[in-house]
């Protein structure tokens, strides 16, 4: 019975969010079980381009460190905001969502050549949070019950939290920068005088990922609860 409930809930998660979070959890489990080591996963341009260890372009986005507070914190934010993007502004547009993943990952990898970062998954999570926050500007957030602010400030609050924990904010700044570039090119520039849409999802992605119609039994996650826990609960202003 418990397995059936878990399976049903698991299959309710939209496909891109389900695939990415599952890959992250399985990668961490494999490291914990010592089936693989982080040294086989981290971003290393020399090993990628000179020794053709191409998998590192992907695996460095899948490992968030050993199981602990930092891992759980990142997984919760990754799951929540990735799912709300997929069920919100990308609802019925899976190919566009996959294209955002590819664009963000490519841009982050290029920036990663110039900064000393070996795992980019946390920066990718911040990118997702940034895009969601800019597309939901009137959602009011409650961070740990201490701060109340509107959604666009969330990435900066998370950066401040990282600073308090003694972590490098380069990760957060990279995620914010890539998220802003995507948001500007996708949401802002096309609506400017003389602007236009520079980001176009390739037709091959649309042919592979776009579904003809939505599942009528699909149960989306309500965006009125953006954080899910005390550090991210919120509601829309005026709601």
pLDDT of residue 215: 55
Q: What is the dihedral of CA 62, 57, 101, 38, to 10 degrees?
A: 10
Residue 230's pLDDT band, with cuts at 50, 70 and 90, is very low
Which domains does the chain show, CATH number per domain? 1-192 (1.20.1540.10)
pLDDT of residue 239: 41
Q: Which of 167, 96, 105, 156 is nearest to 130 (CA)?
A: 156
Q: Are the C-beta atoms of 147 and 202 separated by less than 8 Å?
A: no
Check residues 217 and 124 and name the one with the higher pLDDT: 124
pLDDT of residue 202: 92
Asked whether residue 58 carries a pLDDT value surpassing 80, the answer given is: yes
Asked whether residue 219 carries a pLDDT value surpassing 90, the answer given is: no
Q: Are the C-beta atoms of 171 and 150 separated by less than 8 Å?
A: no
pLDDT of residue 186: 94
Residues in the chain: 239
CA–CA gap between residue 152 and residue 128 (Å, rounded): 12
3-state SS string over 83-101? HHHHHCCCCCCHHHHHHHH
- Lowest-pLDDT choice from 30-39, 178-187, 214-223: 214-223
Question: What distance separates the 2 farthest-apart alpha carbons in the chain?
Answer: 58
CA–CA gap between residue 36 and residue 76 (Å, rounded): 24
pLDDT of residue 167: 79
Is the torsion defined by CA of 77, 104, 130, 10 positive or negative?
negative
Return left, alpha or beta for 194; rule: phi > 0 is left, psi -120 to 50 is alpha, else beta. Answer: left
Average pLDDT for residues 141-149, to the nearest whole number? 81
pLDDT of residue 238: 44
Residue 162's pLDDT band, with cuts at 50, 70 and 90, is confident
Bridge partners, residue 180, by sequence: none
- CB-based contacts of 124, cutoff 8 Å, min separation 6: 61, 104, 105, 108, 175
Average pLDDT for residues 66-89, to the nearest whole number? 91
Average pLDDT for residues 177-197, to the nearest whole number? 91
Average pLDDT for residues 209-231, to the nearest whole number? 54
Tokens standing for residue 53: 């260890």
Dihedral pair phi/psi, residue 140, rounded to 5°: -95, 130
pLDDT of residue 194: 82
CA–CA gap between residue 92 and residue 90 (Å, rounded): 6
Give the percent of the chain with pLDDT over 90.
61
In the chain, DSSP assigns E strands to 139-143, 147-150, 233-236
pLDDT of residue 115: 87
pLDDT of residue 222: 54
Asked whether residue 43 carries a pLDDT value surpassing 90, the answer given is: yes
Tell me the pLDDT tens digit for each residue of 3-35: 778 888 888 899 999 999 999 999 999 999 999
Is the torsion defined by CA of 90, 59, 158, 234 positive or negative?
positive
């Amino acid at each position: 019975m418990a397995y059936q409930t878990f399976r049903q809930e698991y299959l309710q998660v939209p496909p891109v969010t389900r695939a990415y979070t599952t890959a992250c959890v399985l990668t961490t489990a494999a490291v914990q079980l010592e089936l693989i080591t982080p040294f086989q996963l981290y971003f290393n341009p020399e090993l990628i381009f000179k020794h053709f260890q191409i998998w590192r372009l992907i695996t460095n986005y899948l490992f968030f460190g050993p199981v602990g507070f930092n891992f759980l914190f990142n997984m919760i934010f990754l799951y929540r905001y990735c799912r709300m993007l997929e069920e919100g502004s990308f609802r019925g547009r899976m190919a566009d969502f996959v294209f955002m993943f590819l664009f963000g990952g490519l841009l982050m990898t290029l920036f990663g050549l110039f900064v000393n970062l070996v795992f980019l998954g946390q920066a990718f999570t911040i990118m997702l949070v940034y895009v969601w926050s800019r597309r939901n500007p009137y959602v009011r957030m409650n961070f740990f019950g201490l701060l109340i602010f509107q959604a666009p400030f969330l990435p900066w609050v998370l950066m401040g939290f990282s600073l308090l924990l003694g972590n490098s904010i380069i990760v957060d700044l990279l995620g914010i920068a890539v998220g802003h570039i995507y948001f500007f090119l996708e949401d802002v520039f096309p609506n400017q005088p003389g602007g236009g849409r520079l980001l176009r999802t390739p037709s091959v992605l649309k042919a592979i990922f776009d579904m003809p119609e939505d599942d009528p039994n699909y149960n989306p996650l309500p965006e009125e609860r953006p954080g899910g826990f005390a550090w991210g609960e919120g509601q829309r202003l005026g709601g």
